[in-house]
A and B are shown apart, each in its own frame.
Chain A
Amino acid sequence: MLYMSRKNPQPRSYRIVGPQARVDERETPHPRVQRGELGERLRLWRLQRAGNDPFRRIFGGGGAEADPKNCLQSIMAKVPEGKVNPNPLPVDDPVKMAKDIKEVARFLGATVVGITYLDQAYVYSHRARGIESMGQKAGETIDLPHRYAICMGFASDYKKFLSNNSPISDADYGLGNNHTIPTTFMLAAYIREMGYPARAHHYGRGEVNHMPLAVNAGLGELGRHGMLIHEEYGSRLHLATVTTDLPLAVDKPVDIGVEEVCKYCMKCARTCPSHSISFGGKEVHNGVERYRINVDTCYKYRPASRGEWHNCVICVSTCCYNKPNTWWHTLATKSIKWTPIPLRAFVIVPLLWLDDLIWGKRPWQHMKWLSYDNKPKPMVCTIPGCQAKHKNLIHKRLHDPVPETRAAG
């Protein structure tokens, strides 16, 4: 069993086992869908998915139907980067500077912040889209020689996410994405005005993979569902990064027990409606050993709501770390974290039993907000004459017990 060395701690939730090739941004899900690689139906859905929901239209889900001038993401994707002040402020103490810059990030709106070295393995190799005002073009190589990455997390609302698979949780998800934009823009601008190069990487515009950087910066650990798990906020953090050359002291990866919890919990895998989260062990992909999710099925599930919402966020809200900020949640997470690794199972198994008992195996709450109501509506099959008893579009099913073939795989 691997213990974290105090001098050189490595993340426990993923492990580098071979050379990593930089990922081409054009091979990430959105560009693939735009090119029609996941089917013509999904390509058209991405273009025409706005519907009449104003939240969907302003939060960047508008597609061709919504006015991009009403969407912060579309506006900020075109804004050029400001100049670096030619008179840099001297930095004598990177430790104090790191402390100050974290305070600035929180002041500007980040919920949590950590700093790590910018590992070039997590910089995209080529652009999927270029920013015209900065002379960038789609398909060109990305050169981002910054030394540090300031990683930030923006927490979503716990209660709204409990309405998962609804327009309410979808609106809050969209808001969380948009919260990343002003803070990263202002922080990068602040650092440039201090006299050091800095670039904002946020929702709709970025050159880095936020997840491994955030793990390295100690914001949390990588979960079975492929997302960051933070000790206090669970998986409901939207990630964003500012890369810079401002001299900063870096943070270390943390061990909060996610490695052991994800082995036993499986709550995300049991509740994922599209069966995209594995019940099995970790796999090696691109030189990294970690849990892999099926990104294609996860994406293809989006049109399932018939245009009422687009991000189901079931895995986020069912994650056992996703709890309100209360003393008993702190007690539970700390008791896992502070228990020696070989003994953690004795703490985790009873806690998971309590979690299922109190919060349910599929946490969900009936909620009314504005004119939205997430009460499941009876679905009418649109195929004439069909007599099948459809029931899954209300999404209350658990994949439990695990089908044998799946468990074996």
Chain B
Amino acid sequence: MPYVIVEPCIGIKDASCIDVCPMDCIHGNESDQMLYIDPEECIDCDACVPVCPVDAIFPADKVPEKWQRYVQINADYFKDKK
């Protein structure tokens, strides 16, 4: 079950998660609102969760109801990029 970045990341993009991700599977560019986790590459190691200053990262099956749509948003970000 991959991890998912949700709404609190918007406008913050602290990027601490990028530093700790062993798979380098968190991506984004300057024009993006937030960062995204590639669900195919994520190994569920949980390393990104404790370092996120705004608690924006959850396992896909534990994303709060109000942010459920971000599971698809993360996946869609990589749809045409591979």
Chain A residues near B (Cβ < 8 Å) = 39, 41, 273-276, 294, 296-297, 300-301, 304, 379, 381-393, 395, 397, 399, 403-406
Find out whether the CB atom of A41 lies under 8 angstroms from the CB atom of B28. no
Q: Contacts A275-B22, A392-B23; is A300 near B35 (CB within 8 Å)?
A: no
Find out whether the CB atom of A304 lies under 8 angstroms from the CB atom of B22. yes
> Does B46 interact with chain A (Cβ within 8 Å)?
yes
> Separation in Å of the A166 CB from the closest CB of chain B?
16
Find out whether the CB atom of A275 lies under 8 angstroms from the CB atom of B40. no
Find out whether the CB atom of A405 lies under 8 angstroms from the CB atom of B50. yes
Q: How many A-B residue pairs have CB under 8 A?
A: 78
Chain B residues near A (Cβ < 8 Å) = 15, 18-24, 26-30, 35, 38, 40, 43-47, 49-51, 78, 81-82
Find out whether the CB atom of B27 lies under 8 angstroms from the CB atom of A386. yes
Which of A297, A383, A385 sits near B38, CB closer than 8 Å? A383
Q: Contacts A393-B24, A397-B20; is A383 near B78 (CB within 8 Å)?
A: yes
Which of A39, A296, A382, A385 sits near B29, CB closer than 8 Å? A385
Q: Contacts A274-B43, A384-B81, A387-B29; is A392 near B24 (CB within 8 Å)?
A: yes
Q: Give the 7 A-B CB pairs with smallest separation, nearest first.
A: A300-B43, A390-B24, A403-B50, A387-B29, A275-B45, A386-B27, A273-B22
Find out whether the CB atom of A296 lies under 8 angstroms from the CB atom of B28. no
A82–B41 Cα distance when bound, in Å, is 46
Find out whether the CB atom of B18 lies under 8 angstroms from the CB atom of A390. yes
Find out whether the CB atom of B22 lies under 8 angstroms from the CB atom of A382. no
Find out whether the CB atom of B43 lies under 8 angstroms from the CB atom of A297. yes
> Separation in Å of the B18 CB from the closest CB of chain A?
5
Which of B22, B24, B81 sits near A274, CB closer than 8 Å? B22
Chain B residue at minimum C-beta to C-beta distance from A386: B27
